[in-house]
């Protein structure tokens, strides 16, 4: 069975956007939706003939409590949380920040999460029945791929609408990230705190081994 790689950019002030590509990078489908249920039929149709791999640009789960460990970049070591620290963020986000790949929007506990994160939590829970779900980070993908001309996709302009074209690029980046990861050219970071990992389209350059290991 062939693979289809789907990137989803999560929004609440406007509809979410998805892009589906095949292994060659050809766009199979794209579109917009407001609730998880609105994309169910599309995923069911694609899943009849292919194995689906979904990359969602959102946090997989909220914090269960304040983060207890913080990374000291200057000393290249972990330290305990202090009273001044807000306790936000997950291990995967710390790794992304420590390697200067992007600036995460630190995940809080569910009660403090903004609406787009709440929608992201729901999407991960609702869409896992349709295929393998991964947490993608388009900004980090852009950083890794900006000098890599080998990664390309073919856009079907009949599927591109006027609204949210910037969001469409993020969905494309998420789809590419999933493809590169599933086909063995990417990497996965975080997960030491049990709150999910982030996939990347390429391995880390000069990985900081200490931050890759969660202290607990």
| Cα 2 to Cα 213: distance, rounded to the nearest angstrom | 35
Give domain limits for the chain. 2-61+114-200
Query: Would you say domain 2-61+114-200 falls under CATH 3.40.720?
Result: no
Among 57, 173, 171, 177, smallest CA distance to 117 is for: 57
Q: State the pLDDT at residue 161.
A: 63
Give the mean pLDDT per block of 10 residues along the chain (216 residues).
96 93 95 92 95 98 97 96 96 98 98 97 96 97 94 80 75 97 98 98 97 94
| Other CB atoms within 10 Å distance of the CB of residue 170 | 24
């Amino acid at each position: 069975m062939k693979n289809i790689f789907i990137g989803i950019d999560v929004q609440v002030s406007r509809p979410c956007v998805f892009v589906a590509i095949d292994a060659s990078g050809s766009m199979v489908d794209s579109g917009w939706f407001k609730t998880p249920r609105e994309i169910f039929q599309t995923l069911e149709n694609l899943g009849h003939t292919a194995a689906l791999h979904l990359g969602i640009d959102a946090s997989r789960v909220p914090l269960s409590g304040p983060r207890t460990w913080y990374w000291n970049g200057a000393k290249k070591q972990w330290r305990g949380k202090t009273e001044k620290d807000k306790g936000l963020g997950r291990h995967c986000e710390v790794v992304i920040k420590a390697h200067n790949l992007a600036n995460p929007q630190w995940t809080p506990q569910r009660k403090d999460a903004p609406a787009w994160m709440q929608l992201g939590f729901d999407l991960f829970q609702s869409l896992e029945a349709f295929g393998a779900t991964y947490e993608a980070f388009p900004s980090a993908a852009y950083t890794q791929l900006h000098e890599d001309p080998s990664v390309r996709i073919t856009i079907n302009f009949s599927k591109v609408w006027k609204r949210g074209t910037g969001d469409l690029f993020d969905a494309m980046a998420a789809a590419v990230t999933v493809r590169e990861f599933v086909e063995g050219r990417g990497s996965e970071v975080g997960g030491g705190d049990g709150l999910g990992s982030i996939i990347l389209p390429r391995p880390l350059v000069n990985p900081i081994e200490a931050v890759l290991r969660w202290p607990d």
